[in-house]
A and B are shown apart, each in its own frame.
Chain A
C-alpha cells in the first residue's frame, strides 16, 4: 500500500512538474525577485496589553508553498495564524492575502481555513457532520458533500467512526477529525496548528506524506505550526524559526540545518555542539579559531558572504553526525578534540556518545550502527579523540 502511494506521489510530482515546468525540488519562488507572494505579513505587530506577542514581523509565503513555523511555546505561532484567519487584528502593520489587505474582513469571508490547536470539534455533531459543516455552509449539493466527506474520512482512516461523537474518540482520532474538517474545504490557504502532535509515530509519518500529496495535488498553500522539527524537515519547502514574536531565520530545511544563521537557530533545530572561540587568522577562505577553553585551534571554512575580522568572538556549531570518533589521535588532523566517554546512548540505528573534554564541556557525537557486531566497542571512560572536516563547522557570529 505504501509503495502504491509512493508511486502515486511520484506521479503527482511529475504531473506537477509538467504543469509548472520544473521539478518540485526546484520549487523556489522566494529566490525569484519577480514572484508575487500569496501571503504577506508586512511589519506586523500584535500586542495583548503590554505584552508583545508578534514583534514587527515581515513574512512572505508563496502560492503552493508548504511553509512551517517552528518555535518554542509562546513565541507567537498561533497568534500569527489567528491574525491571518481573522480572529485577531494586528496592532500595527498589514496582512495581504492575494491582492487584498485582509484587515476588517470577517473570518467567514476569508479564503483560509484553520485547524485549531485545541481541535474545536463541535461536541453535539458526529464526526461526519463535523466534517461536512464547512461544505454545508458553502451550500454544496448534498451528494457532493457526502462524497467528499466519505473521501476525506477514508484518507484520515476514520470511516468506521463516522457516526461517533467527538467525546467518543481518542485524542489522535479527534485530531484527525479536525484535520479532515479543515482539509475537506480545499481552501486556497490552509492553516494547521500542530496538526499531527497527538498521533503515534507511524500514523504521523503516513499522514505527513498524505498531507504533502494533498498539498501538491490540490495546489494548496499550507502554513503549518509544529513543535516537531523532524516533521518540519520532512514536509516543509521552507521553515521559519521563531523566537519571542520575531523570525530568526527563514530557509529551506536543509539550509536551516546546515547553515543556521545564529546560535539560537542552531540550538533549536537538531542537536548541536557549540565551541566558543576567537578568530585568530584568516587565509584563503580558511579561518583559524583559537578556542576559548585554550585547548588549541580549529580550522573551519569561512562562510561566503559573512564579514569576519581577526579577533572577533564567534562560536562554531558542530552537528553530532559530522564528528568522527577515534581511539588514537589520527596523524595530521586539522581539528582535534580530545576527552573521554562520559555516557553512551544506544538508539538502535544510531549510538550517541557524550564525550567530556578536558575543559569539562560535553560534546555529543553520533555514529551510525552500520554493522551488527563491533570488535572492542567503545565504552565508558575510554579515552577518545574527535575529528571533523573544516567544512563541517558552521561559523556563528550571532
Chain B
C-alpha cells in the first residue's frame, strides 16, 4: 500500500487512539490543582476568613456568621464586619512574636543538627558496597514501622530522671545526680532530630548515590587534598539534596506540636503549641486561625526562596 492510499483520517492527530491520550493530557496536569483546590485552598480560605472574625460565646464561637437566609446581602453584611484585629493583636503581644521566633530558631538549629548528623550517614550509605545499600536504606526507614507517638513516649522513658539514660550514667559513676533533660529544650532537640532524621537522610542519599566519584579522583589528581575536594566538589554537587532535606525538615519542625508538647517544658514556646492552646484552651478560634495563617506564611517563605533560587540556577544553566 502506497502512502497516499492511507485515508486522511489516519493521520496521527485524528487517529481514534490518540483521542484518549489528548483528553488525559488535559486532565492529568489539572489533577494536582484540583487536589490543592479542594484540600488546601478551600480550607485555607475558611481559616483565613475566620482569622478576620471576632471570638464569641456562641456556636460556632465567632462572629460574624454569614446569614445565608438573607442571600447575598447577608454575605456582604458579614464581610463588612471582618477586620484584622487578630493580626494586630498577634503583632502586639510579645508572647506570639516570641513563640514565632522561638519556633524558627528551634527549626533552624534542629535542621542544622540534622544536616550535621544526616550528611555523614547518607555519605556512608552512598559509599557502601552496592549490595549492602538496600539493607541500610531499610534500616533508615525502619522506625516508621512503629507509631510516631510511641517513639516519642519512649524518649520520655529514656530521658526522664529515673529513666534509662540517667540510670546508666549513675551506675557508671559519671554523674551522681540525675540530669534534668525531659521538659527542656534539649529534650525537644533530641526528639526532633530523632524523628526527622530519615527526612534528611533520604534526599541526601538520593543525590549522593548518583554522585560520580571519579570527579573526586579528578580533583585529587589536580592536586586537591581529599578534605578540600569534599568542600569544592561533593558539597556543591549535593546542594539540591541538602536543600530538599533542609526544607523537608525545617517546614514541619516550625509547626511541630507533638514533640514540644510531650518532651518540652511548660515554658517552651513553639508556635504550634500556642496555636493549639488558643484553639482548645481559650476557645479563641479567630485568634488561633490568625496564628495558623502567620505560621503558613512563615513556612511558605523558605519554599518560595528555594523555588526562586532553583529557577535562577536552571536558567543560568541554560
A: which residues have CB within 8 A of B?
85-87, 106-108, 112-114, 116, 118, 120-124, 133-134, 137-138, 165, 167-168, 181, 185
State whether B224 touches A123 (Cβ < 8 A): no
| B219 contact set on A, CB distance < 8 A | 122, 133
Contact present for B214 and A106 (CB under 8 Å): no
Q: Is the interface of B mostly helix, strand, loop or mixed?
A: helix
Chain B 224-239, CB-CB to A under 8 Å as 1, else 0, gives 1110100001001100
Residue contact B224 to A120, C-beta cutoff 8 Å: no
Query: What would 16 A/B residue contacts be, using CB atoms closer than 8 Å?
Result: A87-B217, A107-B217, A108-B220, A108-B226, A112-B221, A114-B218, A116-B218, A120-B214, A120-B218, A122-B218, A123-B215, A133-B224, A134-B222, A137-B228, A168-B317, A185-B222
- Which residues of chain A are near B223, meaning CB under 8 Å? 108, 134, 137-138, 185
The 10 closest A-B pairs by CB, nearest first: A134-B222, A120-B218, A137-B223, A107-B220, A120-B214, A108-B220, A124-B236, A137-B224, A114-B221, A108-B223
**C-beta contact mask, B205-223 vs A, less than 8 Å → 1, else 0?**
0000000101101111111
Closest CB of chain A to B221's CB: distance in Å? 5
Q: Which of B218, B226, B233, B237 has the most CB of A within 10 A?
A: B218
| Chain B residues with CB below 8 A from A121, complex form | 218
**B217 engages A124 (CB within 8 Å):** no
**Chain B residues in 8 Å Cβ range of A107:** 217, 220-221
B221 touches A85 (CB 8 A): yes
**Interface contact B222-A124, CB-CB below 8 Å:** no
CB of B8 to closest CB in A, whole Å: 41
Q: Closest approach, in angstroms, between the C-beta of A205 and any C-beta of chain B?
A: 27
From B218, B222, B236, B317, name the one whose CB has the most chain A CB atoms within 10 angstroms: B222
Contact B215 A122 (CB under 8 A): yes
Interface residues of B in 90-110 (CB under 8 A from A): none
Q: Is the CB of A133 within 8 A of B317?
A: no
Shortest distance in angstroms between B66's beta carbon and chain A's nearest beta carbon? Answer: 55
The answer to whether B221 and A122 have CB atoms under 8 Å apart is: no
Which residue from A116, A133, A138, A185 sits with its C-beta under 8 Å from B217?
A: A116
- Complexed CA–CA distance, A112 and B220 (Å): 11
List A contacts of B237 (CB < 8 A): 123-124
B212 touches A108 (CB 8 A): no
Contact of B233 among A108, A122, A138, A167 (CB under 8 A): A122
Residues of A within 8 A of B215 (CB): 120, 122-123
Per the bound structure, the CA–CA distance linking A167 and B237 in Å amounts to 14
State in angstroms the CA–CA spacing of A121 and B215 once bound together.
7
Closest to B213 in A: A120
Find the residue from A85, A108, A113, A121 having the highest chain B CB count within 10 A. Answer: A108
Sample of 20 further A-B pairs with CB below 8 A, known A133-B224, A137-B222, A137-B224: A87-B217, A87-B221, A106-B225, A107-B217, A108-B220, A108-B225, A113-B221, A116-B217, A118-B212, A118-B214, A120-B214, A120-B217, A122-B218, A122-B219, A123-B237, A124-B237, A138-B223, A165-B317, A181-B222, A185-B223
B22 smallest CB distance to A (angstroms): 33
